[in-house]
Structure 1
Amino acid sequence: MKAFDDYFLARPHLDEIQFYRVPSEMAQTAVYEIANEAESAEPSLQKSDIEVGFRFLAFNFKKATIVHHPSFREAIYHLLDMDKLKTALEPEGFLEASSYFPWKSKAQEKEPWKIVSLLEEAGYAGETLTVYALDRKSAIKQGEIFQEEAQKYGISLELKTYNLDQYYDPHLEEADLLFMGEVASTDYHLSFLGAFLNKALIFNRFLSGSQMAKLNLFFEKIKQAPDREQREKLIEETETYIKRENLFIYLFHPIKNRVFHPMIRDIEFESFGYADFKRMWIKHGRG
């Protein structure tokens, strides 16, 4: 991509941006190299950041299954022990999530001794549910661990995979449960609203009409809030409702470790976790 000098507004900060396709197994680590420069003697720069957004397990309320019963969802909440899922997660690590926003998250109390009685209360009779996970090694392993833990309590799960190209395909709505993630733009409040109001995203596709109606009452108040502080308070009230009803299960915020060429300086991240190109600068020469 090259700067368009005839554009009628301000000129872009950069003259040119080059994009390179990499194999999917390398996608979790971004490595930047500078063409036609002698390799620097300085060590590579490693940047770690906690992703604003979260991974979660969604329930499909558009299907007539046991997930409609609140006791069943609570049983799944207690079943998803993040310590047991650590082996399946990204090697960079994670922060356990209890909110969309990592600075609000804290470890959630799980009480697996309640699972059996909750399943009995829900009237679960061993019917098989389908759980979908991304066709990535860590996501599949996470799904397998979830499946194994569920089996200990007599919960039968059939694990299926999907790829991101299939995310918008209606067939994904055949899932009873689904592992997915949500990542924010630089406008965190707008991203929070968009995650639920965008009809293409999984919350809007999986939540029932009555659940969305309840959430919309919160969203309208957030839209009308006079300042950031009031929006924050209303977002917290919204998340309290989500967690009380277990509309989905918060899992974790990924910690991304990225490697950069040592000549690239002032590396910061912006919307959706991408590097902010306009803030970067290149150190020329040595010394």
Structure 2
Amino acid sequence: MDPNTKQFHPHLVLDWDSLNDESWTFYLRKGVRFHHGRMFTSEDVICTFQRLFHSIESVFYWLSRHLEKIESLGDHTVIIHFNRPIPFFPNILCSNKASIVPHDVDLKQQVVGTGPFSVQSFTKEKLIMEAFDHYFNKRAWLDRVEIYRFPEELQSRFLYEMTTENVGSIEGQDKTITQDMNITQFIIFHTKILGPQQHPAFRKAIRLALDRDTMIDELNLEEVQLADSFLLAHSKNRNFPSNTLSEAQEALKESNYAGETITMFIHPDQWRENALWIQSRCNQIGISIELRPLNYNQTIQHLDQAHLIMIDVVFKDESEINLIEPLGNNSIYHKMFTLQENQQMDTFMDRFISGKTISERLHIWNEMVEWFRKENLILFQFHFKKQYAFSSSLQGNNFGLIGMADFYNIWVKDK
């Protein structure tokens, strides 16, 4: 999908047809080769989408309730039938989660696709990719890409991010290219486990206690924007009324809170002052909060120990697939909300993918965000910016989420 025009263009297909947005026929491109040498066929498409729609770990698992069947008409034609119109389906096909993979490869043992780079080595410490000379579009300019992974416990000890704050200390960076990244910080309540956070009045009491204008003043926070949504653009021009501790105490009385301690997971290195302020502020109305360090992988395994989590997220852009992908079946939201709340989310998602226009779908998405706010399931805190810096020798750069590059279009200009 063209990010500017929002128009869809063929890539692994030559063209496609749709009958009432229920049955979708795709005419596959010939001559596309997988990294392990075999040609791409309809069998690969069918196996990919069966995994995508039927694996409970897939972010698009919720689509399985609308899928009737997938069939092929030879090696280069695939038809996907749904039991209802899904005008949003082309957006899903543009997600990197929908990348076509070969049916004859165990993806847990080997990473194989059709893209411009093939994986040479993939360990917990490092990913090595090399340009794929048989890529059907045109060869990438870079010959090799190496990506290193720092364990969370070591990240604070190494300068692995080039931001505008530290770029001056990096030798040779006489000129840089900068990119802004918008980050949203918020608190999620874990309503699936027993505790006072299950009571709507308790969640409301915490929201009223956390007056963000007061937090900004007392912590001298700079360059933050009050958040009322995941997206900065949707929070602008909204009214943010101030609240008092007495209002919070009145709401707390309605919750029948008995003084038990609740646990909030926080990032160990970021926004600790904010978390300590939240802890102190809640203590002033009689709520006891214990802070524990957030390690994402461990948190997922021990989620039953968290009554609430303070996290920050980045939405790559406002394209529709990036709005709903993080809310999919295997998301942290689904893991923390009750069955009834998940069913309500699924209802919003079903309405969203059935919307015929971008405007209609965005209106439904905003309804869901409003529901999060109304039920106090998510307490939006702040938007803030982080600016990344890159060497001016990088040409054709297109940097996306957290500075991750579109390696296909990058080339290095010798000085």
Shorter chain as normaliser: what TM range? 0.7 to 0.9
Q: How does 1:101-180 map to 2 (within 5 A)?
A: 101-106=231-236, 108-112=240-244, 113-136=246-269, 138-169=270-301, 171-180=302-311
In the alignment, structure 2 segments of 5+ residues that lack a partner are 1-128, 165-170
Match in the other structure for 1:35:
none
Structure 2 residue 145 is the aligned partner of structure 1 residue 14: no
Is 1:207 paired with 2:337?
A: yes
Output the aligned Cα RMSD.
Answer: 3.0
Matched, 1:274 2:407: no
Please state whether the residue corresponding to 1:130 is helix, strand or coil.
strand
- State the shift of 1:234 in Å: 0.8
Per residue, is there more helix in 1 or in 2?
1
1:182 aligned onto 2:321? no
Is the CA contact (8 Å cut-off) linking 2:263 and 2:308 kept in structure 1?
A: yes
Cα separation, 1, equivalents of 2:211 and 2:413: 45
- How far apart are the structure 2 equivalents of 1:81 and 1:27? 35
Counterpart-to-counterpart distance in 2, 1:250 and 1:118? 19
Indicate how the Cα distance of structure 1 residues 127 and 158 shifts in structure 2: closer, same or farther if over 3 A, else same: same
Indicate how the Cα distance of structure 1 residues 216 and 39 shifts in structure 2: closer, same or farther if over 3 A, else same.
closer
In structure 1, the partner of 2:329 is: 198
Distance in 1, Cα, partners of 2:137 & 2:398: 25
Partner amino acid for 1:158? E
Identity %: 25
Q: CA deviation at 1:20?
A: 4.4
Tell me whether 2-11 or 145-154 shows the greater mean CA deviation: 2-11
Contact map agreement 2:162 2:390 (CA 8 A) in 1 = yes
Moved more, 145-154 or 16-25: 16-25
1:221 is displaced (CA, Å) by: 0.7
CA 1:258 to 1:246, structure 2 compared with 1: closer, same or farther past 3 Å? same
Q: Give the alignment's TM-score, normalised by structure 2.
A: 0.58
- In the TM superposition, 1:39-58 aligns within 5 A as 39=172, 42-51=174-183, 54-58=184-188
1:2 aligned residue: 130
CA distance in 2 between partners of 1:46 and 1:186 (Å): 17
CA separation of 1:270/1:149 partners in 2, compared to 1, >3 Å: closer, same or farther?
same
Q: 1:43 to 1:14 in 2, by over 3 A?
A: closer
Report if aligned partners of 2:140, 2:409 keep a CA contact under 8 Å in 1.
no
The residue number in structure 1 matching 2:54 is: none
TM, length-normalised to structure 1: 0.82
Query: Which of structures 1 and 2 has the bigger CA Rg?
Result: 2
CA deviation vs aligned residue, 1:124-150 (integer Å, no higher than 9, x gap): 2322111111222x2333222211111
Alpha-carbon distance, 1:50 to partner: 1.9
What SS does structure 1 have at the residue aligned with 2:230?
Answer: coil
Q: Equivalents in 1 of 2:251, 2:389: separation in Å?
A: 46
Name the structure 2 match of 1:243. Answer: 373
Matched, 1:66 2:184: no
Cα distance, 1:64–1:31 mapped onto 2, change above 3 Å: closer
Matching residue's letter, 1:216: D
Residue 77 (structure 1) shift: 1.2
Checking the alignment, whether the CA contact within 8 Å between 2:163 and 2:387 is kept in structure 1 is no
Residue 267 of structure 1 deviates from its aligned partner by 4.5
Q: Larger % of strand: which?
A: 2
Q: 1:80 aligns with which of 210, 228, 233?
A: 210
In structure 2, the CA distance between the partners of 1:205 and 1:237, relative to structure 1 (3 Å rule), is same
Secondary structure, counterpart of 1:2 in structure 2: strand
Distance 2:320 2:400 in 1: 15
| Deviations 1:218-255 (CA, angstroms, capped at 9, x unpaired) | 11010111121111111111111111111111122331
Q: Does the CA contact (< 8 Å) of 2:212 and 2:226 recur in 1?
A: yes
Deviation at 1:271, TM superposition (A): 4.1
